[in-house]
Amino acid sequence: MQTYNAPLRDMRFVLHELFADDEFGGLEKFEEFTPDLLDAVLEEAARVARDVLLPLNASGDEEGCVLENGVVRTPKGFKQAYDTFREGGWASLASDPEWGGQGLPETVNKLVEEMICASNLSFSLYPGLTHGATTAIEGHAAEDLKRAYLPKMVSGEWSGTMCLTEAHCGTDLGLLRTKAVPQEDGSYKVTGSKIFISAGDHDLTDNVIHLVLARLPDAPAGVKGISLFLVPKYLPKDDGTIGPRNNVAVAGIEHKMGLKASATCQIAFDDSIGWLVGQPNKGLAAMFTMMNTERVSVGIQGLGINEIAYQSAVAYAKERLQGRALGGAKQPELSADPIIVHPDVRRMLMTMRVYAEGCRALGQWASRALDAEKHSKDPEVRARATDFVALMTPVVKALFTDLASEAANLAVQTYGGHGYIREHGVEQFVRDARITQIYEGTNGIQALDLVGRKMAANMGRAMRPFFHAVSALCEDLTKSQDPQISAFAGALMQNFGALQLTTATIARKAMKDPEEAGAAASEYLRMLGLVGMGYTFLKAAQIAKARLGEGSGDADFYTTKLATAAFFFDRILPQATTLFLTIKTGKASMMALPAEAF
């Protein structure tokens, strides 16, 4: 059965303890939010996730979305859950108070996102896309558009979408064909067909606000001729209420592998009325504001699935009786031992758990930079935070979602044959997780973004906050008196050294041949992500030792944290060695065959 209780203790750990010495500093802006208040928010969110969203996760998958008479109907219960969600203020947690948001830090918001995604990934798309769209509008739209749309979107009364993809263009947006023709009143008429539009239409909100990439009549070819338009489903009247229907039609909804309760629409714009957001021909930059926000959120989606997969597998492993412990019966009074006694089951559970804890910690590190980037008063801190966010965005997106799919598959494997049966609900995690590796830029594209842009730009400046932090911690803790801590630090140091060497090699090779960067990209992203996770586990272990030394009343938590750290250093970090070896071989054998030989 799908089992989920938000891991509040670990969330409080990453929020309050793990980065207490944060390089991005305390932010004045958030001083009003006391730890107790933030904990209360997390607890309340956990309740919503468990009681409101989780009960609709499997039924939503079973029922799916339906297109009827041109309108999308979400599964039973979704509208009511969305109303509860919206009325509780969850749609606007991190939004700017200027537009009615609650202005909470991303450090907390991302933990709440994790809970929403864990308990109901399909549901999370509706507020998730809206949040992304408001970010783009806030960052780029004219004041009157902001005033007309942001309050309703921030409150969750209206929702948002991002309309990029067309049938013949996804990754390569330069190919897009949707047109926008300026009208005399300053509006535009937008015409074209978009596909894969998440939350493209549904019955949860009164209006759907599409952000649409299109070309102006005189636009240059390629990505330099793309502009962004705001195209509402219903045109608002001056008093903010819903006016006439715009010419925006749902041409179809996709039948997908998973994420079935999220409506993925084909949207047909036909002389649809819209307004320019940002500058003409600068639409991609505006859209990337949204895209980058979404990419981090997609990583958090992965983390959520990872956690629910882990918890669901644990529940089964404790309950399913089968076989005996290899060293002799553990519970002879039962017909068989619970399968959690078996090393191979432990291997799967520990892997899922360590992935989730590592991603949660790494995500928190990135979230602190998201907040600092926006709110720090120190321009140097802001600049460093911006660099760190730029580096971590593709890592969070790709690493977390790759690990999520691994974890979801491990959960199915823990269930054995029962995992393959739909009613148990774990195979849904595999199907739902699968899209997170693809949308908002495939993980291969994330990897290229990392090695081709983030690593290369400004002489590798974006790498520095990360490299400095890891290097400083390793240097400090290899000298630790505690043999376990110094061993962890030594292992991390060694792999970090390999990462630095690899970074330099790729940079050098790529200068002569960009395909060398492409050939290294996916493995490099994973390698960097592993070192990043190692950094958080080393930090966590150090804190755990200190707390245990102080005689903390929460010894179980810290002892367990040390055990997960040990598993990470024993069984997960060594993945980096293979990555190091494979990257070293370069592009030759990858690119040797002519296309015809395939």
Enumerate residues 90-149 that contact its own copies by CB under 8 A. Answer: none
Applying CB under 8 A, among 170, 299, 529, 532 the residue interacting with its own copies is 170
Q: Please work out the total of residues on this chain that contact its own copies, with binding judged by CB under 8 A.
A: 97
Name the residue nearer to its own copies (CB basis): 216 or 521.
521
| Distance in angstroms (rounded) separating the CA atoms of residues 9 and 559 | 13
Nearest partner of 185 among 276, 246, 248, 249, judged by Cα: 276
Reply yes or no on whether 68 is catalytic. no
N-to-C CA span, the chain: 43
Stretch 395-414 residues interacting with its own copies (CB under 8 A): 405, 409, 412-413
SS3 call for 327: coil
Token pair belonging to 82: 């969305």
Nearest partner of 57 among 438, 409, 312, judged by Cα: 312
Strand partners, 68: 71
Cβ at position 584, least distance to its own copies in Å? 9
SS3 call for 67: strand
Residue 577 identity (one-letter amino acid): T
Q: Does 6 bind its own copies (CB under 8 A)?
A: no
Name the residue nearer to its own copies (CB basis): 7 or 127.
7
Applying CB under 8 A, among 147, 224, 347, 508 the residue interacting with its own copies is 347
Name the residue nearer to its own copies (CB basis): 25 or 514.
514
Residue 279: count other Cβ atoms within 10 Å of its Cβ: 12
Name the residue nearer to its own copies (CB basis): 142 or 590.
590
Question: What is the residue whose two structure tokens read 């859950």?
Answer: 81
Name the residue nearer to its own copies (CB basis): 264 or 503.
264
Stretch 215-274 residues interacting with its own copies (CB under 8 A): 254-258
Nearest partner of 319 among 421, 427, 429, 414, judged by Cα: 414
Q: Does 597 bind its own copies (CB under 8 A)?
A: yes
Cβ at position 338, least distance to its own copies in Å? 7
Nearest partner of 305 among 436, 117, 431, 126, judged by Cα: 117
Cβ at position 63, least distance to its own copies in Å? 14
Angle at the Cα of 40 from the Cα atoms of 37 and 44, rounded to 5 degrees: 145
Name the residue nearer to its own copies (CB basis): 473 or 519.
519
Name the DSSP letter for residue 84.
H
Cβ at position 142, least distance to its own copies in Å? 32
Applying CB under 8 A, among 322, 486, 494, 552 the residue interacting with its own copies is 322
Q: Which residue stretch of 124-132, 153-161, 340-348, 459-467 sits at the interface with its own copies (rule: CB under 8 A)?
A: 340-348
Name the residue nearer to its own copies (CB basis): 255 or 553.
255
SS3 call for 553: coil
For 32, counting Cβ atoms within 10 Å of its Cβ (0-12 exposed, 13-18 middle, 19+ buried), the class is exposed
Applying CB under 8 A, among 434, 526, 539, 547 the residue interacting with its own copies is 434
Applying CB under 8 A, among 47, 346, 374, 464 the residue interacting with its own copies is 346
Distances (CA, A) of 151 to 5, 128, 137, 364, 374: 32, 16, 11, 28, 20
Pairing relationship of beta strands 66-68 and 71-73 according to DSSP bridges: antiparallel
Q: Which residue stretch of 66-74, 235-243, 295-303, 349-357 sits at the interface with its own copies (rule: CB under 8 A)?
A: 349-357
Q: Does 169 bind its own copies (CB under 8 A)?
A: yes
Q: Does 417 bind its own copies (CB under 8 A)?
A: yes
Applying CB under 8 A, among 20, 40, 321, 472 the residue interacting with its own copies is 321
Q: Does 295 bind its own copies (CB under 8 A)?
A: no
Stretch 15-34 residues interacting with its own copies (CB under 8 A): none
Applying CB under 8 A, among 438, 469, 546, 548 the residue interacting with its own copies is 438
Pairing relationship of beta strands 158-163 and 207-214 according to DSSP bridges: parallel
Q: Does 341 bind its own copies (CB under 8 A)?
A: yes
Given 138, 357, 440, 516, the catalytic residue: 440
Token pair belonging to 124: 């999370």
Stretch 539-558 residues interacting with its own copies (CB under 8 A): 556
CA Rg value for the chain:
24
Name the residue nearer to its own copies (CB basis): 52 or 121.
121
Q: Does 336 bind its own copies (CB under 8 A)?
A: yes
Q: Does 485 bind its own copies (CB under 8 A)?
A: no
Q: Alpha-carbon dihedral of residues 326, 330, 332, 334, nearest 10 degrees?
A: -100
Name the residue nearer to its own copies (CB basis): 151 or 419.
419
Stretch 499-538 residues interacting with its own copies (CB under 8 A): 513-515, 517-519, 521-522
Which contacts (CB < 8 Å, 24+ apart) does range 549-558 have? 554/9, 557/9, 557/13
| Distance in angstroms (rounded) separating the CA atoms of residues 442 and 439 | 6
Cβ at position 564, least distance to its own copies in Å? 8
For 459, counting Cβ atoms within 10 Å of its Cβ (0-12 exposed, 13-18 middle, 19+ buried), the class is exposed
| Distance in angstroms (rounded) separating the CA atoms of residues 582 and 563 | 30
The residues annotated as belonging to the active site are 440
